[in-house]
């Protein structure tokens, strides 16, 4: 994934999950393995989305060098908080890379109050939890996913098990959708503008390539 270029503080890591991609550079520069847990309340409403992103070694080492202010080759609590705050502010305008739709319509999400940054096995890990702005009841088709609209960061769910539902209603069926890029372009040809092909970073259409967790639930009264 990528974190937009508000990272003036981390100029060296303009990748720190934000990057200023240009048409000639429209391909991922940062890679992360992700996990998403959708937590459901007893009343069938979505309680929260729990995100975990584990970044590649190269990007993680760049972050370490940038934020290790005391040069002890590790990030202490204060330095990790600095990383978390930087990522939090940088991703705000990108809805924290989240996709949530109900029967094809976007669902507004509350910004997470905070992000947590840790280092494990020399890899940066970002964790956060978000909630829908309005009650989101599981009925019909609801999709959840993660994508970087600037194409700078590739967020990959390496295993279908990394897209999970906690306390899923019995009448819901879960599936993981992994779009084929060529098919996605063909199916969305009528909505893909010239601007997209010239510079997809200026659009939100990269979400058509995103892996999604799809829930199909019986309508309840």
pLDDT of residue 186: 60
pLDDT more than 90, % of the chain: 64
Residue 3 lies in a domain: no
Provide, for the chain, the percentages of residues in helix, strand and coil under a 3-state DSSP scheme, each rounded to the nearest 5: 30, 35, 40
Confidence of residue 179 (pLDDT cuts 50, 70, 90): confident
Is 207 a member of any domain?
Answer: yes
Percent of the chain with pLDDT over 70: 75
In a domain, 1, yes or no: no
pLDDT of residue 13: 41
At 38, is the secondary structure helix, strand, or coil? Answer: strand
Q: Are strands 46-55 and 123-130 parallel, antiparallel or unpaired?
A: antiparallel
Owning domain of residue 196? 8-217
In three-state secondary structure terms, 57 is helix
Closest alpha carbon to 101 in 186, 172, 187, 207: 207
Interval 76-120: pLDDT, tens = 999 999 999 999 999 998 899 999 999 999 999 999 999 999 999
Q: Sorting pLDDT into bands at 50, 70 and 90, what band is 10?
A: very low
How many domains in the chain? 1
Q: What is the pLDDT of residues 33-59, one digit of tens each?
A: 999 999 999 999 999 999 999 999 999
Which structure tokens are listed for 125? 């890990």
Nearest to 62 by CA among 10, 18, 22: 10
In a domain, 2, yes or no: no
Q: Is the pLDDT assigned to residue 12 strictly greater than 60?
A: no
Residue 192 in any domain: the answer is yes
**42: in domain:** yes
Task: State residue 101's pLDDT score.
Answer: 95
């Amino acid at each position: 994934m990528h974190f937009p270029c508000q990272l003036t503080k981390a100029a060296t890591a303009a990748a720190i999950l934000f990057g200023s991609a240009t048409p000639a550079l429209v391909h991922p520069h940062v890679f992360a393995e992700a996990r998403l847990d959708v937590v459901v309340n007893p009343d069938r409403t979505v309680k929260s989305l729990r995100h975990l992103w584990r970044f590649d070694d190269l990007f993680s080492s760049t972050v370490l060098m940038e934020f290790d202010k005391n040069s002890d080759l590790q990030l202490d609590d204060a330095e990790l908080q600095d990383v978390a705050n930087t990522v939090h502010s940088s991703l705000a305008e990108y809805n924290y890379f989240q996709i949530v739709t109900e029967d094809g319509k976007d669902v507004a999400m509350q910004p997470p109050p905070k992000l947590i940054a840790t280092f494990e096995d020399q890899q940066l890990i970002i964790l956060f939890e978000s909630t829908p702005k309005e009650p989101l009841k599981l009925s019909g088709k609801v999709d959840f996913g993660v994508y970087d609209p600037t194409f700078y960061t590739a967020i990959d769910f390496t295993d279908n098990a990394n897209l999970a539902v906690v306390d899923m209603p019995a009448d819901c069926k879960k599936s993981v959708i992994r779009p084929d890029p060529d098919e996605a372009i063909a199916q969305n040809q009528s909505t893909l503008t010239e601007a997209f092909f010239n510079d997809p970073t200026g659009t939100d259409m990269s979400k058509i390539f995103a892996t999604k967790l799809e829930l199909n639930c019986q309508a309840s009264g």
